[in-house]
């Protein structure tokens, strides 16, 4: 939207920003509580006496803020993220799914298999391996799958970390928690993805396939990563934060 010089001179905000400010205020003060549904777009446009296009510009900003999510065919909903105050971002080692997801994860499903190594696994694990463990995790919030992770781990690293593949709970705890407690460094890359790499077609993610993709190499020593993780967070649930200091 083009801002006219006279608007700047008079300090007048574009109309969509005025709508955004008022909706932001009503969301944060609880007029529209967490998990509630906003009125329909025609109703909101009539309420604010603006066009649908102006309203949608305001809603798009609220979606960027992580306060509103749009569900196709259902409408716009207030997220629970407004009540969260995440003070630690990706600048500290820790599981990115819990740092960068706006919803509360209450369940994690996991399955794994043994694969032969490939040129790709040699590259991401920076080592030759007799075999690799390929691990998939699905993250649930209130029964819905809202995130996915894919992990490669060299079979040698399983022995080095004293892991028992027969102990599924122990393996899950290592991936979710202990690996981060033991890690001395991590390399992270952030991308946008529209293709979630999962072997299962049974579990469809809420929020669609467009995700923020966090690629993570987690090091316990400086030679090679103990795990290589790919975290997929649907864009409407993604809130990536980095607290940078000098």
Does the pLDDT at position 149 exceed 70? yes
Helix pair 52-64, 15-28: axis angle to 10 deg: 50
pLDDT of residue 198: 61
Lay out the sheet containing 227-234: strands in order across. Answer: 107-115, 132-141, 144-154, 227-234, 211-219, 185-193
* Gap between the Cα atoms of 88 and 187, Å rounded: 17
pLDDT of residue 80: 63
Left (φ > 0), alpha (ψ -120 to 50) or beta: where does 128 sit? beta
pLDDT of residue 2: 37
Of 200, 227, 214, nearest to 90 (Cα)?
A: 214
Q: What's the mean pLDDT in 86-106?
A: 88
pLDDT of residue 216: 98
Adjacent-strand bridge partners of 228? 152, 217
Phi, psi (rounded to 5 degrees) for 230: -125, 110
What's the maximum distance between 2 C-alpha atoms anywhere in the chain? 70
Chain CA centroid to CA 184, Å: 23
Q: In this structure, are residues 55 and 18 in contact, taking their beta carbons and an 8 Å threshold?
A: no
Left (φ > 0), alpha (ψ -120 to 50) or beta: where does 54 sit? alpha
Of 213, 197, 191, 204, nearest to 72 (Cα)?
A: 204
pLDDT digits (tens, 9 = 90+) for 5-26: 343 344 567 888 889 888 988 8
Among 49-63, 76-90, 183-197, 227-241, which stretch is predicted with the lowest mean pLDDT?
A: 76-90
Among 30-44, 109-123, 186-200, which stretch is predicted with the lowest mean pLDDT?
A: 186-200
- Sign (positive or negative) of CA dihedral 149, 178, 84, 187: negative
* Gap between the Cα atoms of 167 and 236, Å rounded: 34
Residue 175's alpha-carbon distances to 54, 73, 218, 221, in angstroms, are: 45, 36, 10, 16
Which residues, 6+ apart, have CB-to-CB distance to 243 below 8 Å? 87, 88, 89, 91
pLDDT of residue 91: 92
Does the pLDDT at position 84 exceed 60? no
Higher confidence at residue 190 or residue 84?
A: 190
Does the pLDDT at position 48 exceed 50? yes
- Note the pTM of the prediction, 2 decimals: 0.75
| Confidence label for 212 from pLDDT (cuts 50, 70 and 90) | very high
| Confidence label for 87 from pLDDT (cuts 50, 70 and 90) | low
pLDDT of residue 232: 95
| Confidence label for 43 from pLDDT (cuts 50, 70 and 90) | very high
Among 1-15, 188-202, 215-229, which stretch is predicted with the lowest mean pLDDT?
A: 1-15
């Amino acid at each position: 939207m083009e801002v006219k010089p006279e608007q700047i001179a008079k300090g007048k905000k574009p109309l969509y920003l005025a709508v955004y400010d008022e909706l932001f205020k009503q969301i944060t003060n609880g007029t529209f509580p967490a998990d509630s549904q906003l009125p329909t777009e025609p109703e909101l446009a009539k309420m604010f006496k603006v066009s649908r296009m102006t309203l949608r510009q305001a809603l798009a900003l609220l979606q960027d803020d992580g306060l509103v999510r749009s569900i196709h065919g259902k409408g716009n909903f207030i997220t629970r993220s407004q009540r969260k105050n995440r003070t630690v971002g990706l600048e500290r080692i820790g599981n990115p799914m819990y740092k960068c997801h706006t919803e509360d994860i209450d369940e994690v499903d996991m399955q794994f298999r043994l694969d032969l190594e490939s040129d790709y696994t040699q590259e991401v694990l920076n080592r030759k391996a007799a075999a690799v463990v390929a691990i998939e995790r699905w993250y649930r919030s209130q029964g819905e799958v809202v995130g996915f992770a894919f992990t490669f781990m060299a079979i040698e690293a399983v022995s080095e970390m004293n892991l028992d593949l027969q102990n599924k709970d122990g393996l899950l705890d290592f991936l979710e928690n202990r690996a981060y407690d033991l890690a001395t460094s991590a390399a992270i890359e952030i991308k946008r993805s529209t293709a979630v790499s999962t072997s299962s077609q049974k579990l469809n993610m809420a929020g669609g396939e467009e995700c923020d993709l966090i690629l993570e190499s987690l090091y316990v020593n400086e030679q090679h990563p103990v795990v290589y993780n790919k975290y997929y967070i649907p864009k409407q649930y993604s809130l990536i934060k980095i607290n940078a200091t000098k």
